[in-house]
Structure 1
Amino acid sequence: MDDKIETTAEHVEQAVFARCHEVHADPDTRCTEVPEKLATKQAVAKKSAAQWAYERLILYIQNFEKTLDNEHEVAMGFAGGGPGTLRIEGMGYFDPDIVTFYGSDPSGAKTQLIQHVSQLGVMLRALPKPPETSEPVRIGFRLAQDLETSA
């Protein structure tokens, strides 16, 4: 048991750092890691709700892709089931409160979903990669790379 006593200043400072906590049935499951440069007090204070939602979704997508084999790609389904499933081909945000997803639906139709952060509910899904492609697309890697260069 950790009996470390925090000062009021330390407690307040810790309250503004980005934290992530997960528990999985499989103890070997890797939890989503929050890169240090995204979790600092200065980084937290400067971000809109849209940017925070965007950055955390990137971390979840990247972690989900690490569990996929070479025959599957990440897609997302949306709470309520309205727009169905979207193969993720791009993602962005528009400050202060809009997140947008670009991709295609299961029939191959070009799709874009624009969502207010207060309505955000995303389910990540594994879809078979298109048969005409030899390697699956890993959008999480590209999104995380963009975070590193823009942070």
Structure 2
Amino acid sequence: MAKKPWDKSCSEPRAHVVHLDPDAPETAENKPLPDGISGKSIEDKSPAEWAYERLVIYIQNFEEQLDNEHEVAVGFVGGDAGVLRIEGLGFFDPDIVTFYGQDSAGTKTQLIQHVTQLSVMLRAVPKVADAAEPNRIGFRLVADLKAE
């Protein structure tokens, strides 16, 4: 019997994607895993750590496709919580993922999410008006994974 992509007994994570546009930019599902992720087996990760690592990959991939006038933000699916400009992302074993940032009004915002409820939408929002360069949290997150 073939193993399912979510089966923790798989030694390597499976990922797959199909796009309508044959020239669509490369996505997280068809890129190699960063060193900090591939060095530890899925069996040795909590649901929170594994969700965090995959979010890091998706965020960085999304940022690679942005121009210098936009930054990544996360919109929360299924509610009217609005949009959070991502300034930090963390996890707390075994099952919590946390987003840190600001809402559209600049108010300090934090979302604490159980992995079973995790459903986010990445959004491109204009960079902070007085910032010379857009923030690229995804690249910092991947660098942190590689350093572990």
TM-score (norm 1): 0.85
Q: Deviations over 1:56-89 (max 9, x none)?
A: 0000000000110000000000111332100000
Q: CA 1:25–1:101 in structure 2 vs 1: closer, same or farther (change >3 Å)?
A: same
Q: CA 1:132–1:85 in structure 2 vs 1: closer, same or farther (change >3 Å)?
A: same
Q: Which residue of 1 aligns with 2:143?
A: 145
Q: Which residue of 2 aligns with 1:129?
A: 127
Q: CA 1:13–1:97 in structure 2 vs 1: closer, same or farther (change >3 Å)?
A: closer
Q: Which residue of 2 aligns with 1:55?
A: 53
Matches within 5 A, 1:101-140: 101-140=99-138
Q: CA 1:18–1:39 in structure 2 vs 1: closer, same or farther (change >3 Å)?
A: farther
Distance 1:36 1:137 in 2: 20
| Count of aligned pairs | 138
2:17 aligned partner, one-letter code: E
Greater Rg by CA: 1
Question: Which consecutive unaligned segments of at least 5 residues does structure 2 have?
Answer: 1-6
Matches within 5 A, 1:1-151: 15-28=10-23, 29-32=25-28, 33-35=31-33, 37=35, 38-39=37-38, 42-150=40-148
Distance 1:128 1:31 in 2: 22
Distance 1:106 1:31 in 2: 27
Aligned residues: CA RMSD: 1.9
Q: CA 1:107–1:43 in structure 2 vs 1: closer, same or farther (change >3 Å)?
A: same
Contact 1:19 1:39 (C-alpha < 8 Å) held by counterparts: no
Question: Which consecutive unaligned segments of at least 5 residues does structure 1 have?
Answer: 1-11
TM-score (norm 2): 0.87
Percent identity reads: 58
Shift of 1:15: 2.9
Contact 2:86 2:101 (C-alpha < 8 Å) held by counterparts: yes
